[in-house]
Amino acid sequence: MAARFTGRAVTGVRRVSGALTEVTLHGGPVVMVKRQDAPGGVRAEAAGLRWLAEAGAVRVPTVHGHDGSWLVIDRVPTGRPGAEGAVRFGRELAALHAAGAPAFGAPPPDGPEDASIGLAPMRNVAGADWPRWYAEHRVLPYLRRAVDDGVLRAEEAGVFERVCARLPELAGPGERPARLHGDLWNGNVLWAADGRAWLIDPAAHGGHRETDLAMLQLFGCPHLDRILDGYQEAAPLAEGWRDRVALHQLFPLLVHVVLFGRSYAARAVEAARTALAR
């Protein structure tokens, strides 16, 4: 697979995990061969990486090719995060978002409508109104599945439904569609040997820029305050954005409830209550 898409002979192979293999090519370059079994996953990831790269903002690995369940991309030589690189990453993330998207929910060019986030399905359906789109395509589908699977109780679902009903007033000032990474947790930010950040494993689509930032805060990130400082210097966020973090975290938290079960339910319910308490 790696030889086919790069045109170079393979000289070494190292299995990183069940889904990821590091391949050394003739002449020294190293690529990663990744298996992606989620429906539409490989096509969506390849299209997302190319779309993010077109913005010329945050660095992403080059896509060499994909076939069925396999994707071949460049390896990122990893280093350590630093404060200076974090500020730069914040500015670059702001530039990525500013590159824009045709609509909320718009998939990358050549990307499928039926995509995925992790191993959960994710539909990229365009909408002009962010509050309505966020409720219909990023909160309620996962809420319904969690209730149907018995992971969330029916009485717990009510708080999410109340959030969705009040989204027009909770959403803050209107924003134009941003070009989102879409799954921007700490594990999808790699710090290279030169201290700069790279993005991997996107679930890219058009969305609200506060969603990427809220996801980045969900499980912590090195030098997070400096990242946010750099972002604010480049593209200040609307007043009250900190109060909306929980609202934007509902989407990834409900995805985690669907994928990993009851252990995330309490945190998701608490985020919904926090969003309502504004």
pLDDT tens profile 202-239: 999 999 999 999 999 999 999 999 999 999 999 999 99
Name which of 151, 113, 136 is nearest 269 in CA terms. 151
Query: Domains, the chain, ranges and CATH?
Result: 77-276 (3.90.1200.10)
Tokens read off for 244: 């909306």
Query: For residues 220 and 227, what is the distance between their CA atoms, to the nearest angstrom?
Result: 12
Name which of 246, 277, 88, 116 is nearest 183 in CA terms. 116
**28 Cβ contact partners less than 8 Å away, ≥ 6 residues apart:** none
**Average confidence (pLDDT) over 240-249:** 98
The reply to whether the predicted model has a pTM over 0.75 is: yes
User: Of the given ranges (73-77, 140-144, 242-246, 267-271), which has the lowest mean pLDDT?
Assistant: 73-77
Which position has the token pair 């697979």? Answer: 1
Please give the pLDDT value at position 259: 96
Q: To which H or E segment does residue 7 belong?
A: none
In percent, the amount of the chain with pLDDT more than 90 equals: 86
**Mean pLDDT score across all residues of the chain:** 95
Tens of pLDDT, residue by residue over 6-54, are 889 889 989 988 888 998 889 889 999 998 887 778 999 999 999 999 9
| pLDDT higher than threshold 80 for residue 1 | no
